[in-house]
Structure 1
Amino acid sequence: MTKERGAMPFDAIIVSHGQPSDPEVGEAEIAALAASVGALLPDARVEGVTLAARGKIEALSAERPGALIYPMFMADGWFTQVQLPRRLAPDVGPQLVTFGMDCTLPMLAARWLRDIAKDHGLDPSDIDLVIAGHGSGKSKRVSAATYTFADQLAAEFAPKSCRCGFVEEAPSLEEALTGLGQQSICLPYFAAKRGHVLDDLPQAVAATGYKGIVLDPIGLNPDVPAMIADALRWRATTSDVSVCV
């Protein structure tokens, strides 16, 4: 049984890490995502903000008591469990499941991969799949989320093989990409196309001579706004934290 929370209209705030060195870049990206999600929720007010923009999350959450908080992060960790709650106004919330840990994401990714495979005349059973993740030298929570996603995606997509490679821990991106032919796909387990996706991943591809397909980060998939809208719509009317519950 689920507890009714109320009907629309409702407020929602999508929060990302942003880019501390250039906050306006991240602000523009998350605002665009929020606009795409909001277009699918005409009775809701959906806004986006980054943690990198000083004072913005504090001000916006204070203006939106009761707003749902959607963390546009790949894993639960210090940013989502400590910094974000600490910076939110006291009357805001609840906070939903982090984007990368939503159990509907592997299904979205599997549909995407099937389309890519079809476009290239490939069968999933012939494809070596690489999930490129961030990893962390301080906590295993980040890589654990990546492995969980990879396992769930492999169960949905059924590739020939599936492996993970990381920027900040072993196995490295280079290790994961080495020895693969053209019938392979690399899917970056990142929310945005910045930083590591623009620097470390291309460097690893060049260093290994990888000849397979490199996709955009999963956060840029065109079906992501609908996935987020579904999660917000569900949470606005029930006490569940995820459409998977």
Structure 2
Amino acid sequence: MSGTRLPFQKAQAIEALIVAHGQPSDPGPAEQALREIADKVAAMLPGWHVQSATMAAPGELERVLEQATDTPFVYPLFMSDGWFTETALPARLGIARDRVLSPFGLSARLPVLATQSLSSIARDQGWQHQSTEILVAAHGSASGRENPASRTYRFAHALSLLAPWQRVRVGFLEQDPLLSAVAANCGHNTICVPFFAADGYHVACDIPNDLRAGGFSGVISKSVGRADYAPTLIAEALQGAILENAA
């Protein structure tokens, strides 16, 4: 008995685009680092087409969008909300704001995963929670914009609630309290966690320089945006977005 075979149609991949600010003076390394994160996210999301681009690389966002087969879900690898994520990014992409997810730094899961990572670092050093300080290093805003600082303090407060650290401090590169001054009051058993989305010049140079200026003798973790848990957090957010969209 013979029958008619229907043509097999492969399901269209769900499009996702991870966007970061990038490094205007040298876009290449930031593009490559973001691509590595996108590849890790893609490995966790079968059936998705995950791309990446930084806003600093000329024409890269537009090139990636041209390759998309559908309007992507856009994940901003930014530490705060504001003009870039709410206005500049949707306008440049030419998509509705409801396709742009909440930024990385606002994720409710971020302090949870960061606490697990910091606890592991403390154990490796032979430190107990009660004898370990956490120093959150952030950019801040020289112009006095409220959002960046408020998001940093919210993150630090969450860390203080999730584990019995001796103390959780915050220091900024461009506003008070300055990182160098805060570092001067930290004990040896301190983990500095850069509240940054990427390992650019601020993380590679400014933070270590300010810590040295303050006589810091603790350890420095990876920036939260480059931590081992970052791809998992991004993948979870994208999965949540598709479920909300289907509801």
Please give the TM-score of this superposition, normalised by the length of structure 1. Answer: 0.90
> Is 1:211 the equivalent of 2:234?
no
Whether contact under 8 Å (1:62, 1:91) holds in the other structure is no
Larger Rg: 2
Aligned-partner residue type, residue 120 of structure 1: Q
Aligned-residue identity in percent: 35
**Corresponding residue number in structure 2 for 1:124:** 129
- Match among 193, 202, 213 for residue 187 of structure 1: 193
Q: 1:48 to 1:125 in 2, by over 3 A?
A: same
C-alpha separation in 2, matches of 1:130 and 1:229: 27
Does the 8 Å CA contact 1:67/1:92 hold for their aligned counterparts?
Answer: no
Question: Structure 1 residue 10 and structure 2 residue 14: aligned?
Answer: yes
The one of 174, 180, 184 aligned to 1:174: 180
Task: State the TM-score, normalized to the length of structure 2.
Answer: 0.89
Aligned partner of 1:38 in structure 2 is 42
1:50 aligned residue: 54
Higher relative contact order (CA 8 A, sep 6+): 1
| Deviation at residue 110 of structure 1 after TM alignment | 0.5
Shift of 1:61: 2.7
Question: d(CA) in 1 for partners of 2:95 and 2:67?
Answer: 11
Task: Find the counterpart in structure 2 of residue 85 from structure 1.
Answer: 90
Structure 1, 114-123 or 84-93: larger mean CA deviation: 84-93
Partners of 1:69 and 1:94 within 8 A in 2: yes
Query: What's 2:4 paired with?
Result: none
Cα distance, 1:55 vs. partner? 2.1
After TM superposition, give the deviation of residue 49 of structure 1 in Å: 0.3
Q: Deviations over 1:24-71 (max 9, x none)?
A: 222111111111100111210000000011222134235433210000
In the alignment, residue 25 of structure 1 is paired with which amino acid? P
Q: Distance in 1 between matches of 2:105 and 2:182?
A: 20
Superposed CA RMSD: 1.8
Residue 4 of structure 1 corresponds to none
Instruction: Give the SS at the match of 2:94.
Output: coil
> What does residue 232 of structure 1 align with?
238
Q: Deviations over 1:82-132 (max 9, x none)?
A: 211110133686111100110100000000011111111211111111100
How many residues get paired?
A: 234
